[in-house]
């Protein structure tokens, strides 16, 4: 036998020793993420409490408002069939400022989202919701019309109800066709109202207008009508403001739709 080669006993002993060597603590989570078996997450403080933000290599996959980590990870596994593993401190500290800036409306560049498992229609609805400015609202029918599906108002509502990334994709800025706030999948109407209040959309005023059947503001100096939260509508002084209950009423009165908020 070649003396330069290890003996069979030495090989067996080496293999035995390998069994006692523990891999780095970060190895398994990293492998699971790379193989698509797990995603990362961090907790994020928001105006409506703690939410958990999860992501993978494609982008952000979910935002969930849960009482604790256990409930979040269990619900995430059930919904996505993948585990959610806490991100390391370095990654969390790098991502958190971008998320916080988005919630505050200070980030201009959109975050990457993983929507590839949604239908084309659902993706179109969510991407259109991203276009609604902070502090403003639009009705479901506006999104349906904007994406070229004016008759699909109920389907738009269903897509928003199942939005996996609420708050960051602001479905809370979409209201009922009559102006009422409507429900919100991440916690109901009260949470929706709180978010709109923080953003400056004045939800109490919106609810009052809905009760008065007012859907649009017009300016008698420009003969343009807008959604009440449009930045142009807010510039109209009270003495020059005209209210309308429908597009038909506004058009019949000689007003034309705003080119910014596109009410019709």
Are 53 and 99 in contact by the 8 Å Cβ rule? The answer is yes
Specify the pLDDT at position 18.
Answer: 52
Specify the pLDDT at position 115.
Answer: 96
Could you tell me where the DSSP H helices lie in the chain? Answer: 8-18, 27-34, 69-80, 89-104, 120-129, 140-146, 153-161, 189-199, 203-211, 247-252
* Strands 138-139 and 256-257, bridge-based pairing: unpaired
Same fold, 27-103 and 213-264: no
> In CATH, what class is 27-103?
alpha beta
CA–CA dist 231, 227 (Å, integer): 9
Specify the pLDDT at position 12.
Answer: 58
Give the residue from 151, 56, 69 showing the smallest Cα distance to 112.
56
Q: Is 226 designated active site?
A: no
Specify the pLDDT at position 27.
Answer: 47
DSSP 256: E
Domain regions of the chain by residue span: 27-103, 118-209, 213-264
Active-site residue identified among 171, 226, 230, 261:
171
Give the residue from 4, 119, 121, 104 showing the smallest Cα distance to 46.
104
Specify the pLDDT at position 2.
Answer: 54
Report the chain (264 residues): mean pLDDT per 10 consecutive residues. Answer: 63 57 50 66 95 95 96 96 94 94 88 95 98 97 97 96 96 95 91 96 96 97 97 96 97 98 94
CA–CA dist 91, 14 (Å, integer): 37
pTM for the model stands at: 0.84
Q: What does CATH list as the number for 213-264?
A: 3.40.10.10
Specify the pLDDT at position 28.
Answer: 45
CA–CA dist 30, 138 (Å, integer): 41
> In CATH, what class is 118-209?
mainly alpha
């Amino acid at each position: 036998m070649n003396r330069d080669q290890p003996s069979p006993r030495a090989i067996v002993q080496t293999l035995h020793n390998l069994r006692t060597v523990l891999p780095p603590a970060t190895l398994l989570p990293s492998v699971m993420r790379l193989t698509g078996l797990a995603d990362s997450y961090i907790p994020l403080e928001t105006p409506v409490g703690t939410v958990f933000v999860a992501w993978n290599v494609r982008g952000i996959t979910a935002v969930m408002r849960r009482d604790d980590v256990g409930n979040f990870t269990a619900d995430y596994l059930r919904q996505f069939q993948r585990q959610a593993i806490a991100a390391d401190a370095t990654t969390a500290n790098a991502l958190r400022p971008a998320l916080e800036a988005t919630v505050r409306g200070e980030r201009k560049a959109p975050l990457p989202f993983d929507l590839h498992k949604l239908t084309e229609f659902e993706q179109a609805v969510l991407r259109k919701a991203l276009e609604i400015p902070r502090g403003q609202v639009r009705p479901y029918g506006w999104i349906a019309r904007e994406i070229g599906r004016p008759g699909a108002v109920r389907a738009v509502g269903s897509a928003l109800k199942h939005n996996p990334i609420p708050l960051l994709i602001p479905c809370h800025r979409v209201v009922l066709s009559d102006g009422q706030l409507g429900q919100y999948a991440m916690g109901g109407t009260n949470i929706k109202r709180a978010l709109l209040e923080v953003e400056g959309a004045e939800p109490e005023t919106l609810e009052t207008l809905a009760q008065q059947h007012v859907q649009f503001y017009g300016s008698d100096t420009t003969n343009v009508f807008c959604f009440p939260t449009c930045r142009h509508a807010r510039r109209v002084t009270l003495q020059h403001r005209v209210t309308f209950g429908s597009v038909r009423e506004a058009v019949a009165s000689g007003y034309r739709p705003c080119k910014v908020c596109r009410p019709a």
